[in-house]
Chain A
């Protein structure tokens, strides 16, 4: 169905038809797969990089000016590239890494390259807000630097790390949709192929519902988890 020859209401009704969802279902799974894997990569590397940034900060636990400046500089460069430019840039890189420049995995490299620096900055700013008193108390009770990271910095910032991760997952999701244009499959690919190239607006609408629902669910889970922790500590 196209909006060109069908009234809006009919297209909306048609977008709930079974055959539309049959077309979309595999794409939804592709999107979920890409989002899950890319989010996991973002979480692991973003967290690690964010912690490294705070630890090597001139005022941090283990000041390493060279490393701090270099990684800060690299993060800023990666962050200044728009998502689409990053995807295009990663096509040759993916050819080197995976042997092909088309498909889901290459796009995940681009997603990671965009979202890891973003999450690293969120982690960094959360940890920097911890009061010095707590870190000093931990030091004077005999904690090693690793223990301070694991037993103080991470538990203290857990609620904001979760909220930040929610933002990161949503960014990953929106980027998977963009990556769909470059052969990554998923809901974004559906939107381009059916909604843009074939004017099947009912399919496009269905893709939009899926994206809206996913973002709502992710946001709800993130808020729920961080609120629970904050409530347990009675910080609100």
Chain B
């Protein structure tokens, strides 16, 4: 694999709760991600997806193992790894424009790259809402702002922790399209956490299926359906079935009621 951006090897992270019980959030995780790839982590709640993303973001440290970004050890947060969370990440006292410009401002780049803010406002389709505050726009728009706010720093990696988890399915499909567009435009490598199988298939080049207690990567699936992908396509369904089986959800799920 050429052009490896991220290399994770032997990473383990154990939490201790109030009663000193150990929770093995991640055990011996190893993976590599290539430049420009779109990968998804999928798995039930509690299998360590957020823990893994926070480690890559540099917001937490593993007890053992290594995380390398272009061969350099990750330590501490850095704008070269953008991090988007499920909800409430925007600053309510700043307008859409100022939220997106935040990263430029704190790094003293705002004057030089003011045009970038306008570019990202346009890319996420929020022209005319620059002066609005987060509470004045919809949840879907807010998440687009959150994504733009991370992308404006031109990160090597964009880490997305269930950014669409709190949205309805129409808005979600809309943001998925937007995300693919941004992926093409920015060329950023994207790592997405989701619990939505369709979302994973629709967006990813590769899907990492995770299992809990201890959190491990159970299986890696390559999605080779060409873009643009059709959410109702036949190849979509066969992949879906594979993933559901891997997640051991297949039998518990009702069979889809389609007559062909």
Contacts and interface: CB of A to CB of B under 8 A. Distances in A.
Interface of A: 131, 133-134, 136-144, 147, 151-152, 155-156, 158, 229, 232-235
Contacts of A151: 102, 106
Contact of A140 (B82, B88, B107, B133): B82
B89 A144 contact: no
Contact of A155 (B54, B93, B103): B93
Nearest to B102: A141
A234 B85 contact: no
Nearest to B155: A140
B206 interface: no
A32 to B, nearest CB: 32
B88 A142 contact: no
A233 to B, nearest CB: 5
A147 B106 contact: yes
B92 interface: yes
B150 interface: yes
A151 B94 CA distance: 10
Given A131-B88, A133-B85, A147-B106, A140 B59 contact: yes
A232 to B, nearest CB: 7
A147 B91 CA distance: 14
A134 B89 contact: yes
19 contacts: A133-B85, A134-B88, A134-B89, A137-B85, A137-B89, A138-B102, A139-B59, A140-B57, A140-B58, A141-B79, A141-B150, A142-B78, A142-B153, A144-B106, A151-B106, A155-B93, A233-B93, A233-B133, A235-B135
B186 interface: no
Contacts of B153: 141-142
Given A133-B88, A140-B83, 10 more contacts: A136-B83, A140-B78, A141-B102, A141-B153, A142-B78, A155-B91, A229-B93, A232-B133, A234-B92, A235-B135
Interface of B: 54, 57-59, 77-79, 81-83, 85, 88-89, 91-93, 102-103, 106-107, 133, 135-136, 146, 149-150, 153
Contacts, number: 70
A156 B81 contact: no
Q: Which 3 A-B pairs have the closest CB atoms?
A: A142-B79, A234-B135, A141-B103
B58 to A, nearest CB: 8
A156 B92 CA distance: 8
Contacts of B136: 234
B92 A233 contact: yes
A140 B106 contact: no
Contacts of A142: 78-79, 103, 106-107, 153
Contact of A143 (B58, B88, B93, B106): B106
Nearest to A233: B92
